[in-house]
Homo-oligomer: A and B are copies of this chain.
């Protein structure tokens, strides 16, 4: 009976991307900064908030039903993690990573995730692995139902849970940031629709971990990241929907 999950949802109304939440019922108690940050994180991960989308304070205030202070604090936190770009006197815009930033994010993941998975395969915890397989089940279900945004989100969240399985809160936080920024990058540099799904690669990785085959798990993950990266065209960044293009329509 989980139905009224209040999500930050983006829809196109008169040519402008809108951001809403608490549309049906505002029974949720005072969203704190943390809540706002989480919602925007989620929206970015699901690629419903496109890069360069403006997040005006007023809009967010009425969206979350909070004062300006909360919103500004949330925006500051988001900007400190590279999720949004806070331009002085101009407002907050969903980050629009350039080639260099994209490389940095991927390189960071290449540096961190392989040893993480390797270590996970060496000393695996039963319950945490169970969480991972449960998660993959969710991914499969979403894929079967062709729920695009849910697939994208779950696909990224797998890597976060991979970090969480390691039981290190510091690493977990870093991975969450990296994965979210990756979503932005994929949205910007991704070739058409191939951007979404890594198919059963997650399953293979988890199997290797389960088998305790550290070396294989590591290699599979590297291949997986490379696979994601190869789906990008680093030299052809899509025009961010800042200027007329998105409003005038693709004609």
Contacts and interface: CB of A to CB of B under 8 A. Distances in A.
A111 interface: yes
A174 interface: yes
A77 B170 CA distance: 16
Contact of A108 (B107, B111, B170, B178): B170
Contact of A115 (B76, B77, B101, B111): B111
A170 B134 CA distance: 31
Contacts of A80: 77, 80-81
Nearest to A112: B112
A201 interface: no
B170 A105 contact: yes
A171 interface: yes
A104 B170 contact: yes
A18 interface: no
A239 to B, nearest CB: 25
A57 to B, nearest CB: 14
A171 B116 CA distance: 15
A103 to B, nearest CB: 8
A87 interface: no
A222 B184 CA distance: 34
Contacts of A119: 111
A27 interface: no
A159 to B, nearest CB: 15
A168 B73 contact: no
A194 interface: no
A243 to B, nearest CB: 27
A169 interface: yes
Given A73-B76, A77-B77, A111-B115, 14 more contacts: A76-B76, A77-B80, A80-B81, A104-B168, A104-B170, A105-B170, A107-B168, A108-B171, A108-B174, A111-B112, A111-B116, A112-B112, A114-B115, A170-B178
Minimum-distance CB pairs A-B, first 8: A108-B170, A104-B170, A104-B168, A111-B115, A108-B171, A104-B169, A107-B168, A77-B80
